[in-house]
């Protein structure tokens, strides 16, 4: 055998060896799957990408995180189900939609609940004894572990006509997430609520099957709802709030250091995502203004907001009717916690 072919053989053997080592280490990497209710570039994506980076770095590459954007695996309800069944390890769950699993979660659909001060909301959503006590316990009965919660920005109405008072909502078909509390809220505001999946909103607006919808600004931009509506209204009635969930049994089956890794990462992510969502919402508003200079931007005055607040007052009673006395107790406890945090 010539020296050249011996050399070639040695190089090939070494390369194969390296490939095998590579494959072995790839096989050794544990994969955690994280699903989103939103597309790439969204606030939930920012959360999951940072989570991925931190987990992969801190585990020294032993764990890899795969992020599945909206559309890859299904609607919000499907994602929660997949996590509860242990097919996926992590997901985001909108509070409106989670209400069917944990009635206490419907509380976040009560208008004007959260503080105007996001420092208060940060503390509430990450440390509340009510949220991480009775509400989280209820989710555990469905094999869901509540890891964290955060707001994704103020809900903004997009419509084709200006809405400044409940009477302006007469005959306006407003798309809402599939939540009985949201349906009732929009009835109380004077609108005609129409539950639809997120993926169908653009088409329904375009075909005039609905007249408007509510979502944070970043979502209005990336889902292009501003293209098919002419008015954006800051009503001040709510922030879009989401829960970060994992499978409870899967989490409990992890070695203690991996559980600690998740807990510490989620804690580290809370201030990051509070800042990021605000930045995304500001930046995306500029993008909308550039893309559609004619869009009408309306901010309800205090007095105008008060009329919607008054109209939606019966929602507190409705919450108890729809979600049971347990949800009523959660509402009272959270309001008390918010009041105390606001005093600090
Ligand atoms: O409106 C919705 O259905 C969706 N909106 C946002 C901002 N995130 C997920 C949710 O499903």
Phi then psi for 45, rounded to 5 degrees? -65, -40
Q: Please report whether residue 14 resides in a domain.
A: no
Reference 180, options 320, 330, 37; nearest CA is 320
Residue 149 lies in a domain: yes
Contact status, residue 36 vs residue 18, Cβ threshold 8 Å: no
| 20 is a domain residue | no
**CA-to-CA distance for 63 and 34, rounded, in angstroms?**
13
DSSP calls for 264-285: HHHHHHHHHHHHHHHHHHHHHH
Task: Show the low-confidence residues of the chain (pLDDT under 70).
Answer: 1-28
Q: Whose CA is nearest to atom 4 of ligand 1?
A: 198
Per-residue confidence (pLDDT) for residue 28, from 0 to 100:
56
CB-CB contact of 201 with 178 (8 Å): no
* pLDDT reported for residue 76: 87
In the chain, the percentage of residues whose pLDDT exceeds 90 is 87
Q: What's the pLDDT at 166?
A: 98
In a domain, 22, yes or no: no
CA distance 29 to 52: 13
Cα(178)–Cα(136) distance, integer angstroms: 21
State in Å: Cα 19 to ligand 1 middle.
43
CATH code for position 146: 3.40.190.170
Residues paired with residue 31 on neighbouring β-strands, in sequence order: 64
What region does 236 belong to: left with phi over 0, alpha with psi -120 to 50, or beta?
left
Whether residue 194 lies inside any domain: the answer is yes
In the chain, how many domains are there?
Answer: 1
Q: Rounded distance, CA 186 to CA 90, Å?
A: 31
Per-residue pLDDT reduced to its tens digit, 289-302: 999 999 999 999 99
Nearest ligand 1 atom to the CA of 43 is 7
- Are 187 and 193 in contact, with CB atoms under 8 Å apart? yes
For 211-234, give the secondary structure using H, E and C.
CEEEECHHHHHHCCHHHHCCEEEE
Query: Is residue 174 in contact with ligand 1, taking CB distance under 6 Å?
Result: no
Is 21 contained in some domain? no
**Angle, helix 118-127 to helix 325-343, in steps of 10 degrees:** 130
Tell whether ligand 1 has an atom less than 6 A from the beta carbon of residue 76.
yes
Domain containing 131 equals: 27-343
Domain annotation covers residue 19: no
State if residue 152 touches ligand 1 by the CB under 6 angstroms criterion: yes
Does residue 130 lie within any of the structural domains? yes
């Amino acid at each position: 055998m010539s020296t050249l072919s011996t050399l070639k053989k040695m190089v090939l053997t070494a390369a194969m060896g390296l490939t095998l080592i590579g494959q072995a280490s790839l096989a050794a990497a544990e994969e955690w799957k994280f699903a989103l209710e939103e597309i790439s570039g969204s606030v939930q994506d920012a959360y999951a990408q940072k989570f991925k980076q931190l987990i992969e770095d801190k585990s020294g590459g032993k764990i890899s995180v795969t992020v599945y954007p909206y559309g890859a695996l299904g609607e919000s309800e499907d994602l929660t189900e997949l996590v509860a069944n242990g097919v996926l390890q992590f997901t985001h769950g909108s509070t409106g939609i989670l209400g069917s699993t944990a009635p206490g979660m419907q509380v976040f659909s009560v208008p004007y609940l959260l503080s105007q001060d996001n420092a208060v909301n940060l503390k509430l959503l990450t440390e509340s004894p009510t949220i991480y006590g009775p509400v989280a316990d209820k989710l555990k009965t469905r094999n869901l572990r509540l890891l964290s919660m955060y707001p994704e920005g103020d809900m903004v109405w997009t419509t084709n006509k200006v809405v400044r008072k409940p009477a302006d909502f007469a005959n306006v078909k407003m798309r809402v997430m599939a939540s009985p509390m949201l349906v009732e809220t929009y009835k109380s505001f004077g609108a005609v609520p129409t539950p639809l999946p997120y993926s169908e909103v653009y088409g329904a607006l375009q075909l005039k099957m609905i007249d408007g919808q509510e979502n944070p600004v970043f979502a209005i931009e990336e889902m292009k709802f501003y293209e098919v509506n002419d008015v954006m209204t800051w009503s001040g009635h709510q922030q879009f709030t989401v829960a970060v969930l994992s499978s409870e049994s899967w989490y409990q089956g992890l070695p203690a250091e991996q559980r600690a890794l998740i807990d510490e990462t989620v804690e580290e992510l809370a201030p990051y995502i509070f800042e990021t969502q605000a930045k995304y919402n500001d930046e995306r508003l500029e993008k909308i203004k550039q893309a559609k200079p004619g869009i009408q931007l309306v901010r309800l005055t205090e007095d105008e907001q008060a009329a919607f607040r008054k109209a939606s007052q019966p929602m507190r009673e409705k919450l108890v009717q729809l979600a049971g006395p347990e949800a009523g107790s959660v509402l009272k406890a959270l309001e008390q916690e918010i009041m105390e945090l606001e005093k600090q």
